[in-house]
Amino acid sequence: MSRSENSNVSAFPVKERYPVQVGFERRELERILSLYGRMVAAGHWRDYAMDMDRDAAIFSAFRRASERPQIRIEKRPANRNKQGQWMLHGEHGQILKRGDDLAAVLAPIERRLMKLIQD
């Protein structure tokens, strides 16, 4: 028997640095959906979409389903040690807020909601 016939070599599993898919944790999603529900009750949003892939998890809120999203909340764990893993994008793609704390990133929308309720 030759040496190649006897050997069973299998690759050692290597853990990847980042998960195969980025997602929202339960508390993060509860916070986001709570804000979404209050904006729907105020008559400002009507639809939402979630996209989760290898690099980011994205929550988009729409005034109407046929339009572009009014806001996008992105979670990018690769940016955790840079500008923060959370980003809030406006309707035209501009970055409104960045940070590590979801509550701080959602603060501009919370303030807008307070103005909508007061008016």
How high is the pLDDT of residue 67? Answer: 80
How high is the pLDDT of residue 26? Answer: 94
Evaluate whether 18 touches 78 at the Cβ level (below 8 Å): yes
**Distant-in-sequence, close-in-space partners of 64: CB < 8 Å, separation ≥ 6:** 46, 47
Instruction: Give the span between the Cα atoms of 101 and 85, in whole angstroms.
Output: 8
Domain boundaries, the chain: 19-118
Residues of the chain with pLDDT under 70: 1-7, 10-19, 115-119
Q: What is the pLDDT of residues 75-91, one digit of tens each?
A: 999 888 888 899 999 98
How high is the pLDDT of residue 117? Answer: 62
**Distant-in-sequence, close-in-space partners of 52: CB < 8 Å, separation ≥ 6:** 21, 22, 23, 24, 58
How high is the pLDDT of residue 105? Answer: 93
Instruction: Give the span between the Cα atoms of 113 and 46, in whole angstroms.
Output: 14
How high is the pLDDT of residue 97? Answer: 92
Q: Which residues pair with 88 in a beta bridge?
A: 73, 97
How high is the pLDDT of residue 88? Answer: 94
Place of tokens 């640095």: 17
How high is the pLDDT of residue 2? Answer: 53
Evaluate whether 35 touches 117 at the Cβ level (below 8 Å): no
How high is the pLDDT of residue 99? Answer: 92
Could you tell me what percentage of the chain is helix, strand and coil, using 3-state DSSP and rounding each to the nearest 5? 35, 20, 45
How high is the pLDDT of residue 119? Answer: 57
